[in-house]
Amino acid sequence: MRFLKPEILWHLLWILPAMLVLYFIAAHKTARTLQAFLGKNAENPDYVLLSKGRRVLRFILLCLAVICLVIAAARPSWGEQIQELNGQGRDLLFVFDVSRSMLAKDVQPSRLAHAKWLVKELVKLNPGDRFGLIAFAGKGFLECPLTTDRTSFELTLDELSTDSIPLGGTNIQEALAAALQAFKAAETSHRAVILVTDGDELEGNSGKAVDEIVARKIPLFIAGIGDPSQPSIIQVPDGRGGVKTLTDANGNVVNSPLNEKQLGELAKRTGGIYVRSTAGDPGLVALEKRIRALAPHEYDTVKTTKPIDRFSYPLAAAFVLLLLRFMVGERPARRKLAACMLFAFCLAASGTEEAAPAAEESFNKGVEAHEKNDLKTASESYETALRNGVDQAEIRGRATQNLGVIAHTKARSELAASLQAVQGQNLDEAQKQVENSLKTLNLAEGMYLDSMRESSERNQLAKNQSILLSDRKRAEELKKKIEELKKMQQQAQQQTQQAKDQQKKENQNQQNQDKQKQQNQDQQNQQNQQNQDKQ
């Protein structure tokens, strides 16, 4: 099991202590109130109808329910769904610097954290595009192939750290070479490389890679992370749970400046753009403008995988726990039962004494509330008119018709909510709303048909029924579209996961080969040294 939003779980660290503090404050206030009213009998169970044990149990149930709600908000998932995706958009390959200089804090909370935020914002602004991710330091590796699966992409992005690449440095040549390799089968008019770096201590000869990027007409959009006017120190983990300031071989503190000059030249050579990104001015507008200038491209149908969101399980558990909490009162059960029986008796007595209003009066009251858009009062009044107007067919017919109009209005609101959810890419909510709309339309249609048997206003009923049939057709078409979109999402998730697994395997093989080469080189150097010593 994994969580799609694990950062939400950290909120438990303050929610539970806060609940505990509030519980003790409430208990203290209750004790003071009882003491003020009962004096020395405040602790006497014959006077106080409250159970401390039940109160503790209710609090425990509430805490467990809150824990389940937070877990549900963190979106636990296990298992995967296969789905097919097609559409059009742009191919944006993020080349992300994970060298140690990205730990500098001239941009709060750090260059690395700010860079991740910047990438997520660009992804959010371009939901129809495909995104890939290359992490680089001394080497460059494709961490996430081009995909439309935002969830998988952002999970990969969140996992990046300065330990993602074992070889230190900022080798721009390796990064751009990896980008060209990822784009080897792509066309030219819809793609761009977005380099996110501070440009500190650039290594490698980027000329060859840049020449190929220019030849293939791939623009290079560069986001420079940092403040060039204030070179920042770099704090790294010290291996003992703390941090230390990075120093060079001579013990001098290392300052990390933003290398704007070289980054600007790279962007200019490729026909791209350089933007400085800080907390005050992240440069999103300029980057987004250039991205929008790229021509969209029609994608082939692809298969991918999508994590199966299991938030409903902890959500259901939270509901059950809250239900149990409401069932467990602070008073003894027998007293609560007696109170309930007395309440029921009072209701029965009052019901026999009150006379029901006439059907026509209830209907007129409903019409008045309906005109004021007080649908709850209108519905109650129409239902009262139906109960009291057993022998008044015209009143019953009109009341039933108006109840159908209220249900029809509700169904149209649910249909509008479903369309809005589709635009917001919340397909689960959209499917729920459109299904509710279809059920409510069926209810409204039944009321229209019942009204036709008793009401003389057949023309208006026919118009309402015609509108209802049109709304049902729209709802059914929308439901079909939502099902197709959900199927496409599932297929995209599967392909992305397969590609990530394959790329991860290739990355591991490459790292093993590099490690073996280094070991062979070390052995050769050692042998040469021994031969020189013998001579």
**Domains of the chain: which residue ranges?**
2-79+310-327, 87-299, 358-492
- Strand-pair partners of 134: 95, 142
Coil/strand/helix, residue 139: coil
At 289, the pLDDT band (50, 70, 90 cuts) reads: very high
Check residue 266 and give its pLDDT.
Answer: 85
Check residue 2 and give its pLDDT.
Answer: 78
For the record, the structure tokens of 421 come out as 């959810």
pLDDT at residue 73 is higher than 60: yes
Give the residue, 423 or 455, on which the prediction is more confident. 423
Residue linked to tokens 């057993």: 390
Beta strand pairing call for 273-277 and 220-225: parallel
Check residue 46 and give its pLDDT.
Answer: 55
Q: Average pLDDT in the 508-516 region?
A: 86
Write down the H helix ranges in 354-457: 359-371, 375-388, 393-423, 427-454
Check residue 381 and give its pLDDT.
Answer: 87
Buried b (16+ CB within 10 A) or exposed e, 234-247: bbeeeeeeeeeebe
The Cα–Cα gap between 472 and 154 comes to: 38
The Cα–Cα gap between 208 and 204 comes to: 10
Closest CA to 139 of 113, 111, 177, 104: 177
The Cα–Cα gap between 352 and 337 comes to: 23
Closest CA to 328 of 336, 338, 340: 336
Check residue 391 and give its pLDDT.
Answer: 77
Check residue 273 and give its pLDDT.
Answer: 92
For the record, the structure tokens of 210 come out as 């840049």
pLDDT at residue 335 is higher than 50: no
Q: Which of 228-232, 246-250, 430-434, 487-491 has the lowest mean pLDDT?
A: 246-250
**Neighbouring C-beta atoms of residue 112, cutoff 10 Å:** 25
Check residue 48 and give its pLDDT.
Answer: 55
Q: Average pLDDT in the 72-96 region?
A: 79
Q: Average pLDDT in the 222-227 region?
A: 88
pLDDT at residue 342 is higher than 50: no
DSSP annotation of 253: B
pLDDT at residue 194 is higher than 90: yes
DSSP annotation of 149: -
At 262, the pLDDT band (50, 70, 90 cuts) reads: confident
Q: Which of 50-59, 322-331, 451-460 has the lowest mean pLDDT?
A: 451-460
Please report which helix (H) or strand (E) contains residue 337, including its range. Answer: helix 333-353
pLDDT at residue 85 is higher than 60: no
For the record, the structure tokens of 350 come out as 């009052």
pLDDT at residue 514 is higher than 70: yes
The Cα–Cα gap between 315 and 308 comes to: 15
Q: Tell me which range, 333-347, 382-396, 425-439, is most confidently predicted by mean pLDDT.
A: 425-439
Average pLDDT over the chain, rounded to an integer = 80
- Whether 307 and 76 have beta carbons less than 8 Å apart is answered as no
Q: Which of 4-8, 408-412, 415-419 has the lowest mean pLDDT?
A: 4-8
pLDDT at residue 349 is higher than 60: no
Contacts of 499 (CB under 8 A, 6+ apart): 145, 147
- Whether 385 and 358 have beta carbons less than 8 Å apart is answered as no
Give the residue, 245 or 25, on which the prediction is more confident. 25
Closest CA to 112 of 79, 45, 157: 157
Render pLDDT for 434-482 as a digit per residue (tens, 0 to 9).
899 999 988 888 888 777 767 666 677 778 877 888 888 889 998 999 8
Beta strand pairing call for 235-237 and 170-171: unpaired
Check residue 118 and give its pLDDT.
Answer: 93
- The number of angstroms, rounded, from the C-alpha of 72 to the middle of its chain's C-alpha atoms is 12
Long-range contacts of 333-336 (CB under 8 A, 24+ apart): 335/49
- Whether 200 and 234 have beta carbons less than 8 Å apart is answered as no
For the record, the structure tokens of 472 come out as 């049902």
Coil/strand/helix, residue 224: strand
Q: Average pLDDT in the 243-256 region?
A: 70
Q: Radius of gyration over alpha carbons of the chain, in Å?
A: 34
At 351, the pLDDT band (50, 70, 90 cuts) reads: very low
For the record, the structure tokens of 94 come out as 């993020």
Check residue 70 and give its pLDDT.
Answer: 92
Q: How distant, in Å, are the alpha carbons of 222, 275, 284, 289 from that of 267?
A: 6, 9, 16, 15
Q: Average pLDDT in the 117-135 region?
A: 89
DSSP annotation of 247: B
Q: Which of 96-100, 201-205, 373-377, 495-499 has the lowest mean pLDDT?
A: 201-205
For the record, the structure tokens of 482 come out as 């939502």
At 93, the pLDDT band (50, 70, 90 cuts) reads: very high
Give the residue, 382 or 184, on which the prediction is more confident. 382
At 334, the pLDDT band (50, 70, 90 cuts) reads: very low
The Cα–Cα gap between 493 and 497 comes to: 6
Coil/strand/helix, residue 214: helix
At 107, the pLDDT band (50, 70, 90 cuts) reads: confident
Backbone angles phi, psi at 135, to 5 degrees: -100, 140
Check residue 500 and give its pLDDT.
Answer: 86
The Cα–Cα gap between 268 and 375 comes to: 63
Find out whether the peptide bond into 307 is cis, omega within 30 degrees of 0.
no
The Cα–Cα gap between 272 and 221 comes to: 5
Q: How distant, in Å, are the alpha carbons of 68, 183, 377 from that of 179?
A: 42, 6, 64
Looking at the chain, the number of H-run helices and the number of E-run strands are 15, 17
Determine the topology of domain 358-492 in CATH: 1.25.40
Contacts of 190 (CB under 8 A, 6+ apart): 89, 90, 91, 294, 295, 296, 297
Task: Give the percent of the chain with pLDDT over 90.
Answer: 15
Report whether CATH 3.30.465.10 matches the domain 87-299.
no
At 195, the pLDDT band (50, 70, 90 cuts) reads: very high
